[in-house]
């Protein structure tokens, strides 16, 4: 069932060129969508439109049937769509992890015992159980970002939009956050919209969307999108490391199928 419906979406900041234009898209409940695109392609603008931090200047977005242009829907939509941003330090405000995760539910006016349950459950979901009394600023980047995600989960959103949540993390932190995202999608059935510039993070998505200069240029399963090595390069995008290697090998004359994404697939094709 479709959770987000987007029709002829356009967004302009003041009189500038459209940051987004001609976007038509449906995102299904429980889908894991990855959005890639070079700097300035409109990814963050798109994320903000989903969370009603911005309102379309053309076309419309329905979230769970709610029109984001209607001011009466803002509160409802923000409860259904949680946001995680790039810099974990800007998202953690309290002196302990549990206070941080409780912050959202407290604002929803949820009773204390229920908040306690939600906080503990959310920390378990992100693999941070036991850190309740820890100080957020002493955590690693990956741990901080997982606490920020726990703060979102504690509000029980149906959908989580993550705008480059891994871009300030080391490889270990990136893996932790990706495992958390996969868990939330596969086990908790959250709809995930993950914006990233790490192509390897797109491999496990249900669908990859490529933005370039405010438009959707490619969309499909990872194996379909990453076959388009030359197009992706023309949008200043890389392909996943293994795909790049397979591409280089086939350029130098080896007969390999297109759309190789993993080491296993490459080994199989080579042997
Ligand atoms: P991305 O997240 O893909 O890097 P953005 O959505 O941040 O892209 O930006 C898309 C376009 O909108 C860019 O051309 C950018 O310069 C412009 N833009 C972003 N934020 C603003 C703003 N607050 N005011 C004016 N233009 C903006
Ligand atoms: Mg951005």
pLDDT at 11 over 80: yes
Is 115 contained in some domain? Answer: yes
* Ligand 1 neighbourhood includes 104 CB (under 6 angstroms): no
Is 248 contained in some domain? Answer: no
Structure confidence by residue, pLDDT tens digits, 119-133: 999 999 999 999 999
Helix (H, G, I), strand (E, B) or coil at 49: helix
Range of the domain at 144: 88-156
Taking the centre of ligand 2 as the mean of its atom positions, its distance from the CA of residue 222, in whole angstroms, is 21
Q: What is the pLDDT of residue 253?
A: 92
pLDDT at 138 over 80: yes
Is 185 contained in some domain? Answer: no
Is 147 contained in some domain? Answer: yes
Q: What is the pLDDT of residue 206?
A: 98
Q: What is the pLDDT of residue 108?
A: 86
pLDDT-derived band at 259, boundaries 50, 70, 90: confident
As a whole-number percent, the residues of the chain with pLDDT over 90 amount to 90
pLDDT-derived band at 239, boundaries 50, 70, 90: confident
Torsion, Cα 141 146 151 152, to 10 degrees, reads 120
Is 226 contained in some domain? Answer: no
Atom 22 (ligand 1) nearest CA: 13
Domain count, the chain: 1
Taking the centre of ligand 2 as the mean of its atom positions, its distance from the CA of residue 41, in whole angstroms, is 8
Q: What is the pLDDT of residue 54?
A: 97
pLDDT-derived band at 26, boundaries 50, 70, 90: very high
Is 242 contained in some domain? Answer: no
DSSP bridge pairs for 94? none
pLDDT-derived band at 238, boundaries 50, 70, 90: confident
What is the average pLDDT value for the chain, to the nearest integer? Answer: 95
pLDDT at 169 over 90: yes
Strands (E) in the chain, as ranges, are 2-12, 18-28, 32-36, 58-63, 66-67, 81-84, 159-163, 191-195, 207-212, 215-220
């Amino acid at each position: 069932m479709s959770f987000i419906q987007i029709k002829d979406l356009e967004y302009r900041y003041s009189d500038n060129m459209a940051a987004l234009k001609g976007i038509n898209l449906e995102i299904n409940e429980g889908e894991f969508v990855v959005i890639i695109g070079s700097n300035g392609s409109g990814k963050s603008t798109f994320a903000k439109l989903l969370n009603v931090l911005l309102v379309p200047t053309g076309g419309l977005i329905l979230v769970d049937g709610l029109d984001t242009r209607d001011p009466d829907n803002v509160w409802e939509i923000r409860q259904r769509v949680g946001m995680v941003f790039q810099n974990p330090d800007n998202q953690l405000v309290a002196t302990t992890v549990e206070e941080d995760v409780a912050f959202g539910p407290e604002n929803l006016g949820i009773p204390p015992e229920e908040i306690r349950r939600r906080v503990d459950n959310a920390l378990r979901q992100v693999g941070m159980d036991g850190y309740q009394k820890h100080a957020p600023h002493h955590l690693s980047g990956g741990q901080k970002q997982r606490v920020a995600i726990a703060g979102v989960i504690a509000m029980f959103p149906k959908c989580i939009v993550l705008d480059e949540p891994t871009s300030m993390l080391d490889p270990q932190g990136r893996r932790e956050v990706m495992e958390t995202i996969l868990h939330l999608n596969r086990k908790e059935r959250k709809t995930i919209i993950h914006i990233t510039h790490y192509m390897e993070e797109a491999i496990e998505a249900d669908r990859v969307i490529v933005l370039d200069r405010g438009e959707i240029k490619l969309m499909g399963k990872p194996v379909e999108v990453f076959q388009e090595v030359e197009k992706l390069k023309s949008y200043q995008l890389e392909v996943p490391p293994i795909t790049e290697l397979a591409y280089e090998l086939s350029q130098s004359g080896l007969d390999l199928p297109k759309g190789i994404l993993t080491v296993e697939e490459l080994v199989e094709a080579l042997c």
